[in-house]
């Protein structure tokens, strides 16, 4: 709750070489543009969107996920980073530009940022029936997003069925999503990022594999 | 003192279309909060998400929810349309449109087709919306169960349990009394088969437009501090009974200005003798039709 | 052609122009200056700051001038302005025990350490229109020296300042002569005296945990006491007074005594992250009210006194008193009392206390609603047709 005042000296000092990469060139307008792309992605689950913003992210972050962090995070949003993202440079970058608290307990995080293997979705806060909005949003950096592939998506935002290809596709993912669907309206929302491309997978989206009934 | 100098004098912020103001009036932290909540609203279609809601330069109850949503969305690439009662030239619509032209420097339009962003009070445009467009509704009372249960703590519980029996009972009581459902606007709908939702006080004539609409529908209730959403192509069903299907009330007349028989009509007392004129409530739709018919355009 | 709600830009511009003319009134009269409003209509300024949730006397005076004296409209202007200001952080909690007290009275205690200070009050004046105020005149500002008041003994450690007229006071004979206590000198709270005897509860919610902020997170119900006090502090004075009055008349009974009312200036401290220690950034004038209320006790808890708390910007003791009564009334559930009256109903009180919300929604009825009205009209025509038909059939059946 306390208003965080960023201390550039401290934050910069933690960065490798003491240099902090810049955030948005035009914070208000860049954030607006990124948000609209993300909103469209969440409103059209599975459709691949491209973020139109020039950004030089910390080495462990993709441009898309860095831009989303700058767009969404601040002192009111605790962030959990997986080991693949959480080097000093990324931490300093996020603390300085977003002012977000970095938490070790993924259940306490409003946002998760995953650069390695996707952890079980149950590790994140799902909200509950009374306040399903009190749930985590997980930004997941993947290697590839394709608009064709084995996944068949349906639900709000999709006119019929939409195909999606995704790599890597961890074995537990589909099963967890199916299980999570039964808990609706509670659930974790996913944003998949590959470079500066992204796909929204809100909890409301049903995911099956091609050939499934 | 002029109206000009009656505006707040100080503020700060860069990138604003109006010097001294934040871009689109709201500060970035407030926009971020609203944006985060809008994403949750989209992920849970029909569910009311609480948000902090700021005082805006218009009184709460006059569209501050819709304005905060629009302010969190709008950008230089947008083309904005604002309507009240279906019309672009009602004073409230003019006032809100000017607010965004001044604070965000956004291009405005009356054309439903050209607009990327439409803020509305009480209507859905007659021209069908397209994918990629966003319609922002101003909502006075977001809670569909409010007049059945005034307590927020209790209605929240009912939504959690999807316990909507009382809404059906209330409609059934109307059937028992009048032989039909006697509700002509703000007619409750079920979103995605899960959440009972108040569509804002649009006439029930507009309800069918909510169903599987290709546009993104966003709802902002500023005074009541709630946001909610219907994503594109989401099924939205007006409550009804098997033997009492949902039916729409519309004057049997055609528009006296453009001849439309498919649009919602305002009924206007035209002279002291009480003679009536019927005209489209959607001013742009009416003007467009008149133009295509080669008539000289009369504003409805 | 139909123009009732249309006409757009020009109509709005003309409305603004007419408003400006109305605001100015007869140009032959002198125009109000902000310092006149601030200095001479101070209570109006205080109310606007309180309900506008912004301590800024100069801006509140401007808002009053702009709103033509309409305090609700002025508070609204201030609230909106408040939202354009950047938020640097949160101040340290105000130490009202270290208030430079200008006025301090207790209804419950005959006497209390620190003395009673009557300050500037109309409480004991006869409410007669003072026709001498109709003309501008120099202020006859001779304060009566305390010696002339013949205090009946008792304490006189009221803490004086600046060697001005002495602030000592006798019991039940508070002095009006005191300027105020020295800033920063602690004047013990009256209720702490009772605490020593364990007859009164310790203040509820006294822990140092994070304080929720109703302007950042909308309160959901049941709300905590912090959200309740925040909402009441910016609530409409008239609404609060009416509800508090209802609780006095038997719609929920709070049995209040004024434990202590204190008014004066309190310094505001802020701890910048880079400094790590608190620095004074200014001061605010406050009215603080603590009431003492009965509590019957039950099998678990002994009978004891309970507390109600009120706080408002400026000299706003009516508001602070009403707030304290409502704070206590709203604790009914917590204290296991029967909850039967509006003043005890948290959701009812808190959801309707804000005059900016209530005024906005009430007045939005002036906006055009002709689409909904037209829908209702068509519906009513259909219902009426069906009703007439049923009546006709019934009549025919009877014949």
Q: What is the mean pLDDT of residues C247-272?
A: 91
- The answer to the question of residue B165 being in a domain is no
CA distance A53 to chain C (A): 26
Q: Active-site residue B86, yes or no?
A: no
Q: For residue B205, what is the domain's CATH number?
A: 3.40.50.11310
Of C362, C368, C386, the CB nearest to B85: C368
**Nearest in space to B259 (alpha carbons), one of B288, B219, B216, B225:** B288
Q: Which helix (H) or strand (E) holds C337?
A: none
The model's confidence at residue A213, banded by pLDDT at 50, 70 and 90, is very low
Contact C274 A7 (CB under 8 A): yes
Q: Tell me the C-alpha distance between A70 and A20, whole Å.
A: 14
C-alpha Rg value of chain C to the nearest Å: 27
Report residue C133: phi and psi, to 5°.
-75, -15
Looking at the structure, do residues B99 and B199 belong to the same domain, yes or no? yes
> Which neighbouring-strand residues pair with C258?
C291
Q: Active-site residue B286, yes or no?
A: yes
* Count of H-run helices and E-run strands, chain A: 5, 9
B48-107 residues touching A, CB cutoff 8 A: 49-50, 72-77
What percent of chain B has pLDDT above 70? 93
A35-94 residues touching C, CB cutoff 8 A: 76
For residues B173 and B148, the answer to whether their CB atoms sit within 8 Å is no
Q: What is the pLDDT of residue B94?
A: 92
Sheet of B236-238: strand order equals B195-197, B189-191, B236-238
- The answer to the question of residue B233 being in a domain is yes
Whole-complex ipTM: 0.92
The model's confidence at residue B34, banded by pLDDT at 50, 70 and 90, is very high
Rounded to 10 degrees, the C-alpha dihedral C369/C373/C375/C379 comes to: 160
Beta strands in B125-215 (DSSP E): 134-138, 189-191, 195-197
**Treating both helix axes as pointing N-terminal to C-terminal, what angle do C57-66 and C42-52 enclose, rounded to 10 degrees?**
100
CA atoms within a 13 Å half-sphere pointing along the CA-CB vector of A185: 26
**Nearest in space to C323 (alpha carbons), one of C225, C221, C200, C209:** C225
What percent of chain B has pLDDT above 90? 78
For residues B81 and B117, the answer to whether their CB atoms sit within 8 Å is yes
Chain C residues with beta carbon closer than 8 angstroms to that of A4: 273
Looking at the structure, do residues B95 and B202 belong to the same domain, yes or no? yes
Looking at the structure, do residues B115 and B257 belong to the same domain, yes or no? no
Q: What is the pLDDT of residue C160?
A: 37
Q: What are the structural domains, with CATH classification, of chain A? A: 26-207 (3.40.50.11310)
For residues C276 and C170, the answer to whether their CB atoms sit within 8 Å is no
Residues 6+ apart with CB under 8 A from C145: C165, C166, C177
Q: Which of the residues B13, B20, B46, B132 is marked catalytic?
A: B46
Q: Tell me the C-alpha distance between A149 and A162, whole Å.
A: 10
What percent of chain A has pLDDT above 90? 81
Of B6, B62, B86, the CB nearest to C371: B86
Domain of B52? 11-144+184-238
Q: Does C382 touch chain B (CB under 8 A)?
A: yes
Residues C309-326: b if buried by 16+ CB within 10 A, e if exposed: bbbbbbbbbbbbbbbbbb
Residue C105 CB coordination number (10 Å)? 20
Contact B266 C80 (CB under 8 A): no
Contact B234 A31 (CB under 8 A): no
B110-139 residues touching A, CB cutoff 8 A: 132
Q: What is the pLDDT of residue C174?
A: 52
pLDDT at C91 > cutoff 80: yes
A41-70 residues touching B, CB cutoff 8 A: 42-44
Q: Is C135 exposed, middle or buried (0-12, 13-18, 19+ CB in 10 A)?
A: exposed
Beta strands in C273-367 (DSSP E): 279-293, 306-313
pLDDT at C157 > cutoff 50: no
pLDDT at C183 > cutoff 60: no
**Nearest in space to A203 (alpha carbons), one of A134, A118, A101, A146:** A134
What digits encode the pLDDT tens for the residues B171-224?
999 888 888 888 899 999 999 999 999 999 999 999 999 999 999 999 999 999
Q: Tell me the C-alpha distance between C174 and B135, whole Å.
A: 64
For residues A121 and A136, the answer to whether their CB atoms sit within 8 Å is no
Looking at the structure, do residues B88 and B222 belong to the same domain, yes or no? yes
Residues 6+ apart with CB under 8 A from A203: A135, A180, A181, A184, A185, A186, A187, A188, A189, B43, B44
Q: Which helix (H) or strand (E) holds B171?
A: helix B165-178
Contact C274 A5 (CB under 8 A): yes
Looking at the structure, do residues B282 and B139 belong to the same domain, yes or no? no
Q: By three-state DSSP, how is residue C264 classified?
A: strand
* Count of H-run helices and E-run strands, chain B: 7, 12
CA distance B175 to chain A (A): 32
pLDDT at C187 > cutoff 80: no
Report residue A180: phi and psi, to 5°.
-60, -35
Token digits for A10? 């401290």
Chain B residues with beta carbon closer than 8 angstroms to that of C6: 87, 89-91, 299
Indicate the domain borders of chain C: 8-82, 96-120+155-358, 371-399
pLDDT at B108 > cutoff 60: yes
Q: What is the pLDDT of residue B8?
A: 35
Q: Which helix (H) or strand (E) holds C260?
A: strand C257-270
Chain A residues with beta carbon closer than 8 angstroms to that of C211: 1
Q: Tell me the C-alpha distance between B171 and B174, whole Å.
A: 5
Looking at the structure, do residues B256 and B228 belong to the same domain, yes or no? no
For residues A75 and A97, the answer to whether their CB atoms sit within 8 Å is no
Looking at the structure, do residues B50 and B193 belong to the same domain, yes or no? yes
Token digits for B24? 């689109």
Q: Is C204 exposed, middle or buried (0-12, 13-18, 19+ CB in 10 A)?
A: middle
For residues A193 and A118, the answer to whether their CB atoms sit within 8 Å is no
Contact A3 C90 (CB under 8 A): yes
Size of interface A-B (CB pairs under 8 A): 118
Looking at the structure, do residues B266 and B221 belong to the same domain, yes or no? no
Chain C residues with beta carbon closer than 8 angstroms to that of A5: 88-89, 272-274
Chain C residues with beta carbon closer than 8 angstroms to that of B266: 2, 370-371, 374
What digits encode the pLDDT tens for the residues A146-184?
999 999 999 999 999 999 999 999 988 999 888 888 899
pLDDT at C173 > cutoff 60: no
Is the bond leading into C385 cis (omega within 30 degrees of zero)? Answer: no
Q: Which of A167-176, C59-68, C212-221 has the highest mean pLDDT?
A: C59-68
pLDDT at A11 > cutoff 50: no
Q: Which of the residues B65, B66, B220, B280 is marked catalytic?
A: B280
What is the number of domains present in chain B? 2
Q: Which of A108-112, B195-199, C11-15, C235-239 has the lowest mean pLDDT?
A: C11-15
> Which neighbouring-strand residues pair with B15?
none
**Nearest in space to B209 (alpha carbons), one of B168, B200, C368:** B200
Q: What is the pLDDT of residue C137?
A: 80
Q: What is the pLDDT of residue A51?
A: 96
Size of interface B-C (CB pairs under 8 A): 183
Q: Does A6 touch chain B (CB under 8 A)?
A: no
For tokens 């006790």, what's the residue?
C297
Residues 6+ apart with CB under 8 A from C134: none
Looking at the structure, do residues B197 and B285 belong to the same domain, yes or no? no
Looking at the structure, do residues B215 and B262 belong to the same domain, yes or no? no
Q: What is the mean pLDDT of residues B158-171?
A: 94
Q: Tell me the C-alpha distance between B240 and B237, whole Å.
A: 9
Closest CA in chain C for residue B33: C216
The model's confidence at residue C30, banded by pLDDT at 50, 70 and 90, is very high
Closest CA in chain B for residue A40: B132
Q: What is the pLDDT of residue B270?
A: 86
Q: Tell me the C-alpha distance between B20 and B28, whole Å.
A: 14
Q: Active-site residue B20, yes or no?
A: no
Contact B90 C6 (CB under 8 A): yes
Instruction: Sort strands A49-50 and A137-141 into parallel, antiparallel or unpaired.
Output: unpaired
Question: Which position has the higher pLDDT, A165 or C165?
Answer: A165
Of A29, A189, A203, the CB nearest to B75: A29
Chain B residues with beta carbon closer than 8 angstroms to that of A202: 42-44
> Which neighbouring-strand residues pair with A208?
A152
pLDDT at B116 > cutoff 60: yes
What digits encode the pLDDT tens for the residues C293-305?
988 777 888 888 8
Q: Tell me the C-alpha distance between B144 and B115, whole Å.
A: 29
**Treating both helix axes as pointing N-terminal to C-terminal, what angle do C225-233 and C317-329 enclose, rounded to 10 degrees?**
150
pLDDT at A203 > cutoff 50: yes
Q: What is the pLDDT of residue C146?
A: 59
C67-96 residues touching B, CB cutoff 8 A: 76, 79-87
Q: Does A25 touch chain B (CB under 8 A)?
A: no
Q: Tell me the C-alpha distance between C115 and C158, whole Å.
A: 5
């Amino acid at each position: 709750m306390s208003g965080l005042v960023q201390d550039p000296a401290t934050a910069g000092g933690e960065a490798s070489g003491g240099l902090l990469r810049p955030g948005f060139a035009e914070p208000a307008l860049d954030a607006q543009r990124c948000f609209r792309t993300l909103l469209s992605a969440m409103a059209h689950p599975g459709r691949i969107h491209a973020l139109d913003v020039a950004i030089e992210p910390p080495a462990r972050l993709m441009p898309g996920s860095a831009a989303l962090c700058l767009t969404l995070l601040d002192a009111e949003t605790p962030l959990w980073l997986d080991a693949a993202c959480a080097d000093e440079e990324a931490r300093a970058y996020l603390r300085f530009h977003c002012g977000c608290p970095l938490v070790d307990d993924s259940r306490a995080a409003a946002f998760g940022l995953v650069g390695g293997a996707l952890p079980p979705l149950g590790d994140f806060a799902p909200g509950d029936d009374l306040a399903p909005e009190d749930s985590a949003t997980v930004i997941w950096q993947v290697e590839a997003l394709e608009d064709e592939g084995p996944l068949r998506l349906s639900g709000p935002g999709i006119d019929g069925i939409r195909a999606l290809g995704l790599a890597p596709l961890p074995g537990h993912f589909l099963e967890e999503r199916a299980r999570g669907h039964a808990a609706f309206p509670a659930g974790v929302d996913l944003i998949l990022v590959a470079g500066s491309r992204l796909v929204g997978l809100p909890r409301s989206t049903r995911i099956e594999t091609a050939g499934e009934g | 003192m002029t109206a000009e100098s009656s505006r707040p004098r100080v503020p700060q912020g860069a990138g604003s279309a109006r010097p001294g103001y934040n871009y689109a009036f709201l500060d970035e932290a407030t926009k971020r909060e609203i944006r985060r909540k809008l994403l949750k609203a989209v992920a849970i279609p029909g569910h009311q998400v609480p948000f902090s809601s700021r005082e805006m330069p218009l009184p709460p109850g006059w569209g501050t929810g819709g304005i905060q949503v629009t302010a969190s969305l709008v950008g230089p690439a947008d083309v904005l349309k604002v309507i009240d009662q279906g019309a672009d030239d009602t004073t409230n619509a003019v006032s809100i449109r000017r607010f965004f032209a001044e604070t965000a420097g956004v291009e405005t339009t009356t054309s439903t087709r050209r607009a990327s962003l439409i803020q509305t009070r009480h209507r859905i445009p007659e021209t069908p919306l397209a994918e990629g467009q966003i319609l922002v509704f101003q909502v006075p009372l977001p809670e569909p169960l409010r007049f059945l249960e005034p307590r927020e703590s209790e209605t929240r519980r009912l939504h959690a349990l999807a316990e909507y029996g009382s809404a059906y009972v209330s409609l059934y009581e109307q059937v028992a009394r009048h032989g039909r459902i006697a509700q002509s606007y703000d007619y409750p709908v079920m979103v995605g088969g899960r959440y009972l939702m108040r569509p804002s006080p649009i006439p029930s004539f507009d309800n069918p437009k909510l169903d599987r609409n290709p546009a993104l529908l966003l709802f902002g209730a500023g005074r009541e501090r709630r946001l909610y959403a219907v994503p594109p192509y989401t099924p939205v069903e007006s409550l009804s009974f098997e033997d009492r299907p949902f039916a729409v009330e519309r004057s049997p007349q055609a528009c006296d200005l453009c001849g439309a028989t498919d649009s919602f009509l305002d009924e206007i007392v035209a002279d002291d003798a009480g003679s009536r004129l019927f005209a489209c409530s959607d001013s742009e739709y009416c003007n467009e039709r008149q133009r295509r018919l080669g008539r000289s355009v009369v504003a409805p | 052609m139909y123009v009732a709600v249309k006409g757009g830009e020009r109509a709005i511009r003309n409305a603004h122009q007419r408003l400006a003319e109305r605001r100015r009134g007869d140009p032959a009269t002198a125009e109000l200056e902000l310092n006149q409003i601030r200095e001479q209509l101070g209570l109006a300024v205080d109310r606007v700051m309180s309900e506008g949730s912004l301590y800024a006397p100069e801006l509140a005076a401007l808002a009053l001038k702009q709103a033509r004296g309409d305090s609700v409209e002025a508070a609204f202007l201030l609230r909106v302005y408040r939202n354009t200001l950047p938020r640097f952080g949160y101040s340290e909690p105000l130490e009202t025990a270290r208030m430079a007290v200008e006025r301090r009275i207790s209804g419950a205690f005959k006497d209390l350490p620190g003395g009673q200070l009557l300050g500037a009050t109309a409480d004991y004046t006869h409410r007669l229109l003072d026709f001498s105020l109709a003309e501008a005149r120099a202020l006859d500002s001779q304060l009566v020296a305390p010696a002339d008041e013949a205090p009946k003994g008792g304490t006189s450690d009221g803490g004086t300042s600046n060697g001005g007229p002495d602030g000592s006071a006798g019991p039940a004979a508070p002095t009006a002569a005191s300027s105020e206590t020295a800033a920063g000198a602690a004047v013990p709270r009256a209720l702490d005296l009772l605490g020593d005897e364990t007859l009164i509860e310790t203040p509820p919610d006294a822990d140092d945990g994070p304080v929720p902020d109703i302007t950042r997170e909308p309160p959901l119900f049941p709300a905590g006491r912090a959200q309740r006090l925040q909402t009441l502090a910016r609530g409409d004075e008239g609404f609060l007074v009416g509800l508090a009055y209802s609780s006095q008349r038997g719609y929920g009974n709070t049995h209040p005594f004024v434990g202590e009312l204190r008014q004066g200036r309190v310094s505001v401290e802020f701890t910048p992250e880079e400094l790590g220690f608190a620095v004074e950034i200014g001061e605010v004038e406050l009215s603080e009210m603590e009431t003492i209320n009965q509590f019957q006790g039950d099998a678990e808890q002994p009978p004891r006194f309970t507390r109600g708390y009120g706080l408002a910007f400026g000299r706003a003791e009516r508001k602070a008193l009403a707030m304290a009564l409502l704070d206590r009334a709203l604790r009914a559930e917590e204290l296991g009392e029967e909850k039967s009256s509006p003043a005890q109903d948290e959701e009812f009180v808190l959801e309707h206390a804000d005059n900016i919300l209530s005024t906005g929604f009430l007045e939005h009825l002036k906006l055009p609603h002709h689409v909904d009205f037209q829908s209702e009209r068509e519906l009513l025509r259909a219902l009426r047709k069906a009703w007439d038909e049923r009546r006709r059939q019934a009549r025919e059946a009877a014949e």
